[in-house]
Structure 1
């Protein structure tokens, strides 16, 4: 396995982060839902009050690749608040390029998010996964996560677009 470094994303990584976001959406068969731009990623993650934080997995170039490190995965997270548990972290996305999967990179990203959460005084960190992604479900369980849908029957909901406008009376 190539040497992999997990580090905080920098503003100049936004192009690669967007590339990885698009790859993840394609894998999840949801490419048509990606509306974010590189500019929005920059503005929302690297301004005075960032709305998200991002870790990237960086490898040195393989033989025949362009010089310089390559981003092969990412974990995008933000802080949330639980009225029952207090400070929490939500891992919105975690993705590792297929040719780098199975090398422990995803686990390293998850472990780093857990470190960040503990350093910030968080009591939990949450994430969601599509029900058909058995490989990810199995990994999260091996790492110690419990499935809230199985254990407590929670369902995730989302208001967007017209539904959100209607709620706001617009």
Structure 2
């Protein structure tokens, strides 16, 4: 007969230790010398109503294959393993749907597209001094030079915004 501590039962059930004790006292969970009988606990877990799967600690962070391993080793109740499997499959279906609908995209593609945009902006801004040197040399005061540079930079950024592809999702704010 396999037993677990009341604290371990509380952790697996996602409730407090006193709540486990209350269920033992009510006869819903069997115990042996203060330790919870695992088979009785698992049966109680399957019949529990109002369980909120997202609050079950064993159901978080467990990959698809890990649940079966934990179940085989007796470290996870059958009901919890079933919830983990169902939760994993549901999340996988949601991810596939989000990918197909375009709500989730490959981060590498976004990074590459942003890199291209930044390179374009950099090239455009670095070209200003060479292209505008004669005009900038005629400025008589530092304030006139600054105003001229601000106008040139603003115009370059405006041109980049107008040239941007509105369907790529990256043109906003550039």
Query: Which TM-score tier does this pair reach, normalised by the shorter chain?
Result: under 0.3
User: Normalized per residue, which structure has more strand?
Assistant: 1
Q: Give TM-score, length-normalised by structure 1.
A: 0.25
Q: Give TM-score, length-normalised by structure 2.
A: 0.25
> Greater Rg, structure 1 or structure 2?
2
Higher relative contact order (CA 8 A, sep 6+): 1
User: Normalized per residue, which structure has more helix?
Assistant: 2
